[in-house]
Amino acid sequence: MCSFPAIAIVLLPLLSGRSDDTPSALRAQPDGWVDLLANAGPGLKGWTRATLKASDPLKSPSQWLLDPKTKVLLCQGDGGHEWLRWDDELTDFVFHVEWRFTPVEGKTKGYNSGVYARNSSDAKIWHQAQVGPGPKAFLFGETLQKARPSRFNLAKDTVEDRVKPPGEWNAFELTCLGDEIRLWVNGATVCVLKGVDADRGFVGLEAEGWRIEFREVKVKSLANP
């Protein structure tokens, strides 16, 4: 893990038991949310496919498909490494995403995707909640520290492993408030990053070679009106 003086990792007390004793912000305060898939339509209006690396150009056709009835977004996982970026730049907010992998027979490892918050439009600055086969979820990426990019990885600093296996739905919430990014997973906050100089950016979803579904993709602004 990389450590930087201005990046503070907050270790949270372990929760007793495995019960979901901390509700999601979406369930606890259901008002004021914007559903990012509600009016997207088959063309995914409001979203932009973008590369993560110059060496990974966008492929055609798109690997992202939205079911118009269920509003479940499918990443087929066959279109290369890219991200789907919501077009509105945000400051302070909560980003709620629910996801599940399509299980591959005989495969328990290797599943990979991600949920992004406060990324730059070109994803050179990025804060990712790792989406994998479980049970661990964590924040990592490249943030700004004193106006310079700084790598961070909180994989060893999560206080609880809560991710469910492929085939089951998981809920993530990334809360970005001031210089802090907080990751909540299936009932508990598992890690917190402080000292984030990137005070605004874009949310998004990652495609990384696995078939994965997303639903309840919503944001709630925490910025002062």
Q: What is the pLDDT of residue 196?
A: 94
Q: What is the pLDDT of residue 10?
A: 45
pLDDT, one tens digit per residue, over 10-56 is 444 433 335 547 999 999 999 999 999 999 999 999 999 999 988 88
Return the minimum-mean-pLDDT range out of 31-45, 142-156, 200-214.
142-156
Is residue 174 within 8 A of residue 181, CB to CB? The reply is yes
Is residue 39 within 8 A of residue 46, CB to CB? The reply is yes
Q: Is the pLDDT of residue 147 over 90?
A: no
Distance CA 106, CA 185 (A): 26
Distance CA 125, CA 209 (A): 22
The sign one gets for the Cα dihedral 168, 175, 131, 71 is positive
Q: What is the pLDDT of residue 115?
A: 98
Residue-range definition of the domain harbouring residue 103: 8-221
Q: Is the pLDDT of residue 189 over 70?
A: yes
In a domain? residue 2: no
Q: What is the pLDDT of residue 53?
A: 85
In a domain? residue 100: yes
In a domain? residue 1: no
pLDDT, one tens digit per residue, over 153-174 is 999 999 999 999 999 999 999 9
In a domain? residue 35: yes
Q: What is the pLDDT of residue 14?
A: 37
CATH number of the domain that residue 151 is part of = 2.60.120.560
Distance CA 34, CA 218 (A): 5
Distance CA 225, CA 222 (A): 9
Q: Give the DSSP H/E element, type plus range, for residue 219.
A: strand 212-221
Segment 115-130 shows an average pLDDT of 97
Q: What is the pLDDT of residue 82?
A: 97
Q: What is the pLDDT of residue 225?
A: 66
In a domain? residue 164: yes
Distance CA 215, CA 74 (A): 9
In a domain? residue 59: yes
Q: H helices of the chain, where?
A: 25-28
For residue 60 the two structure tokens come to 């055609």
DSSP 91-151: SSEEEEEEEEEPP-TT--S---EEEEEEE-TTSSSEEEEEE-SSS---EEEEEEETTEEEE
In a domain? residue 3: no
- Global pTM? 0.91
Q: What is the pLDDT of residue 21?
A: 79
Average pLDDT over the chain, rounded to whole? 91
Q: What is the pLDDT of residue 25?
A: 98
Q: What is the pLDDT of residue 56?
A: 84
In a domain? residue 64: yes
Round to the nearest angstrom and report the end-to-end CA distance of the chain. 38
Length of the chain: 225
The residue behind tokens 């509003």 is 71
Q: How many domains does the chain have?
A: 1
Q: Is the pLDDT of residue 103 over 70?
A: yes
Is residue 42 within 8 A of residue 66, CB to CB? The reply is yes
Q: Is the pLDDT of residue 8 over 60?
A: no
